[in-house]
Amino acid sequence: MKAQHERADNSALRAENDKIRCENIAIREALKNVICPSCGGPPVTEDSYFDDQKMRMENAQLKEELDRVSSIAAKYIGRPISQLPPVQPVHISSLDFRMASFDGYGVGAGPSLDLDLLPGSSSSMPNLPFQPVVISDMDKSLMSDIAANAMEELLRLLQTNEPLWIKSTNDGKDVLNLESYERIFPKPNNTHFKSPNIRVEASRDSGVVIMNGLALVDMFMDSNKWVELFPTIVSIAKTIEVISPGMLGTHSGSLQLMYEELQVLSPLVPTREFYTLRYCQQIEQGLWAIVNVSYELPQFASQCRSHRLPSGCLIQDMPNGYSKVTWLEHVEIEDKTPIHRLYRDLVHSGSAFGAERWLTTLQRMCERFACLMVSSTSTRDLGGVIPSPEGKRSMMKLAQRMVNNFCTSVGTSNSHRSTTLSGSNEVGVRVTVHKSSDPGQPNGIVLSAATTFWLPVSPQNVFNFFKDERTRPQWDVLSNGNAVQEVAHIANGSHPGNCISVLRAFNTSHNNMLILQESCIDSSGSLVVYCPVDLPAINVAMSGEDPSYIPLLPSGFTITPDGHLEQGDGASTSSSTGHGRSSGGSLITVAFQILVSSLPSAKLNLDSVTTVNNLIGTTVQQIKAALNCPSS
């Protein structure tokens, strides 16, 4: 019996041994296909001893590389990399120079600067404002309550006149009665900032746009489409978290946490950052309301100096594909630095970021989209050059990308880390440098320069001066005084100034180079943006092919009313003769972009900064001379 028990035990052990051997084979086969969860790479099949030796050798090589780069950094920056502030992993190369005037460039001596060796404080953002965040169920419930209360307040503000709103005696616009507002909507904390430099801006406006309500709602609830719809106002917009997707097809009940950065197209006006809850609700058939209200995230609370009280719009469907939109903007702003004197009246009056600017931009862009979707084109639009409707749409898409690129280069977005020229001379130049690798831009180092100045000429006359090809040789220093002819024309709005043109310069050495130009105008201001494009690229767009990969490096002008109003008590320095009207002066921002080098690893020569600085200075002087304005 003992022998039988031993044989039975041996049989059991053999069976267990076979089972373990099979599991071992299965594990070895599985290890051959394993993927590293952190890097996604294949498994290491070498012996662990050799792995350690290989890692030690790589570590030694990295230390040598670090010592070499640190010595170079000490040479150019004055201290080794180990003493520099920590650099975040997201790298946005930029270089800022501050120019006091055209006579003094304000740039230190030195033959060149290496972009890769810039300190982290100016070449990367310390915290990307739209980084992913973890939102708990309690936070989502709180967000839903805040959005519902904000929607209720928005509807009352949009649908009520007196006593909440009174008409301004200066321009007839709606002005919020703060006493009535605080009485009807009491809040425990009257302000979200403790600084005394707090301003409240509130405005309301309404108008008709050529787009149906559901299409508008779809564009408003998509952050990418939101930027495309308002490129002159919104520099950055990102959806951080979708709290509630809402009903499919109508977006009713949709709630999103968003980040957006708003701009005025001038280096003199800082951007405004908001973390907002955007909530959409369909009130009834053909009627939607969208509300924006600030929601402070603890990790970014110290960065924002702008708080949005319940703002938004009411969208009502009308016959024939039109919509009536009523817009409301209501914000609290803390001015960390005083607004530059050129823009003080425009910003403090609420016109720079007010409801009228949003609505007029929306009307103009909806007209542009309507022209884009129209398949038939007139003879004047084609001009005998653009052969098909597909070619027209391709040209319009190319021009829109050009305008978006221009707006990005002019603004003072925090992603650029640009220097704000508050308190500088009348004409100061802000210069930034970035490495370009996008498909729609030339590869290499791009230098952008912008400045703003005032002229005692009406915005309409300034716009006509820039748009007219007959007066172009008076300001375009790159044309060398040669005549320019319009060879193609596409209307993209009801105003004759809203159009896209293809221009050809005579008697130039570059016969294959054309100029793509888009001009647009509304009551809030105007743009004239242009870019040299070679003839083969224009032919690609005109034939209806995808223009996404045509490289563009646009320059241009923005024209804005100066915001001065005629005051009966003489408080304003305006020279206007009409009561409550603009003084007739214009704020003009001129911006150039040039490709410094086509090699991404090249260094920026300071002569390039001097060149673009002189280019802007010469352009400004020629504009003043052509419009009979003093050069001082």
Closest CA to 160 of 152, 168, 171: 152
Q: How far is CA 58 from CA 36, 54, 63, 139, 580, in A?
A: 19, 6, 9, 46, 72
How confident is the model at residue 384, as a pLDDT? 56
Burial class (CB in 10 A: 0-12, 13-18, 19+), 284: exposed
pLDDT single digits (tens) 76-101: 444 444 444 443 333 323 333 332 22
How confident is the model at residue 157, as a pLDDT? 94
pLDDT single digits (tens) 111-137: 333 333 333 333 333 345 556 677 788
Residue 450 in contact with residue 424, Cβ under 8 Å? Answer: no
How confident is the model at residue 188, as a pLDDT? 66
Q: Which residue spans within 56-155 are E strands per DSSP? A: 95-99, 112-113
Identify the three-state secondary structure at position 316. strand
Q: Which residue spans within 16-124 are E strands per DSSP? A: 95-99, 112-113
Closest CA to 555 of 587, 588, 532, 526: 532
How confident is the model at residue 291, as a pLDDT? 97
β-bridge mates for residue 545, sequence order: none
* Ordered mean pLDDT values, 10 residues apiece, the chain (632 residues): 90 91 84 63 55 79 74 49 40 31 30 34 41 76 91 93 86 87 79 69 94 94 94 92 87 92 91 92 94 81 76 94 95 85 89 94 94 66 67 92 91 54 52 77 83 92 92 82 86 91 76 88 94 89 88 93 58 33 76 76 62 82 88 62
How confident is the model at residue 123, as a pLDDT? 33
Residue 427 in contact with residue 453, Cβ under 8 Å? Answer: yes
Identify the three-state secondary structure at position 264. coil
CA distance 135 to 243: 9
Instruction: Tell me what percent of the chain is helix, strand and coil, each rounded to the nearest 5.
Output: 35, 25, 40
Torsion of the alpha carbons at 478, 480, 484 and 489, rounded to the nearest 10: 0
- Give me the sign of the Cα torsion angle 472, 478, 481, 482: negative
